[in-house]
Amino acid sequence: MIRFKLAEQIEKKQFKESRRITIQEVAEATGINRMTLSKILNHRGYSTGTDNLDKLCTFFHCPIEDLIEHLDGDGDAQAK
């Protein structure tokens, strides 16, 4: 299963910039629908396209592996 680390990226950006980052702000900056971002954050197993992943990586200035991770069947992080 793929797990999104969007919440972690939002937290990192908030800490780095010393301000609150809202889902609405991410939506407006990336062009990704707010409901899609909410599903990425809250719905286990939600699937989104690579275009959205690219937009999020650009917004957070991070590589893809900082945004998503692969989990094995038990829910543990898959070793690389």
**Cα Rg of the chain (Å, integer):** 13
Write the burial class of residue 72 (CB in 10 Å: 0-12 exposed, 13-18 middle, 19+ buried): exposed
Domains and CATH numbers, the chain: 2-63 (1.10.260.40)
Of 4-8, 38-42, 70-74, which range is least confident? 70-74
The model carries a pTM of: 0.83
- For 37-66, how does the pLDDT look when each residue is reduced to its tens digit (9 = 90+)? 999 999 988 999 999 999 999 999 999 999
75 pLDDT band (50/70/90 cuts)? low
